[in-house]
Chains A and B, each alone.
Chain A
Amino acid sequence: QKEVEQDPGPLSVPEGAIVSLNCTYSNSAFQYFMWYRQYSRKGPELLMYTYSSGNKEDGRFTAQVDKSSKYISLFIRDSQPSDSATYLCAMKGNSYKLIFGSGTRLLVRP
């Protein structure tokens, strides 16, 4: 079993929809949780960074962490075609090693 599980998709939604992306994990030592966005043939770029449990909002993006369930989510409101990309969750404990999910491909249809 992988330490971090993420549905690969693809997830196809119409423009303006609310998108929900999720990851589950098994290591209770993880404390830092990130979402990266990766456009085709580009490197990952950091979208959201959360420490421990709770919610964090930044514009149209909301990250949620539920450590009791070992479950994290990224919500995208009013999705745009430019949001079409692969979304990678990543997490770490008290070290520098990031553990990544396999990524979810998102397609927002105009």
Chain B
Amino acid sequence: GAGVSQSPSNKVTEKGKDVELRCDPISGHTALYWYRQRLGQGLEFLIYFQGNSAPDKSGLPSDRFSAERTGESVSTLTIQRTQQEDSAVYLCASSLRTGAGETQYFGPGTRLLVL
């Protein structure tokens, strides 16, 4: 079956502009995660959605970052007034359920470059 998909695969924007990144999780997966990966770094947790529960936004680095998810489907990550330090790969993952033993499956990421 189809894996996690993300769009666009690459995004170049000017400092100060807003960007919107999209994630389509694996069908039937109730949990969805966003991560950020800076060059040469590991993945940083940004936000987590589980069903209709309130999302865990504890990893969002500033109030310029927000995310939404419609039910158990598509999610969008929005970065307002982008800064050069926002340049990174933004990765989305989904898992069947929530639980410490659940496996997270990753999409290919969106490469964001802020000029």
Convert B63-93 into 0s and 1s, putting 1 for each residue whose CB lies closer than 8 angstroms to a CB of A.
Answer: 0000000000000000000000000000101
B107 touches A43 (CB 8 A): yes
Q: Of A44, A96, A98, A103, which contacts B99 at CB under 8 A?
A: A96
Contacts of B44 in A (CB 8 A): 100
Q: Which of A53-61, A63-71, A87-95 contacts B (4 or more CB under 8 A)?
A: A87-95
A51 touches B101 (CB 8 A): yes
Q: How far is the CB of B102 from chain A (nearest CB, A)?
A: 7
Residue B42 CB within 8 A of the other chain = yes
Contacts of A6 in B (CB 8 A): 42
Interface residues of A in 77-110 (CB under 8 A from B): 88, 90, 92-103
Q: How far is the CB of B98 from chain A (nearest CB, A)?
A: 6
A96 touches B42 (CB 8 A): no
Contacts of B107 in A (CB 8 A): 43
Q: How far is the CB of A89 from chain B (nearest CB, A)?
A: 9
Q: How far is the CB of B40 from chain A (nearest CB, A)?
A: 7
B106 touches A44 (CB 8 A): yes
Residue A17 CB within 8 A of the other chain = no
Q: How far is the CB of B5 from chain A (nearest CB, A)?
A: 10
> Can you sample 18 A-B contacts with CB below 8 Å?
A6-B42, A8-B40, A32-B101, A43-B4, A43-B106, A44-B91, A46-B103, A46-B104, A49-B103, A51-B101, A88-B42, A93-B100, A95-B100, A96-B48, A98-B33, A100-B42, A103-B41, A103-B42
Q: A42-B108, A45-B106, A100-B42 are in contact. List 4 more A-B contacts (CB 8 A).
A: A36-B106, A46-B104, A88-B43, A103-B40
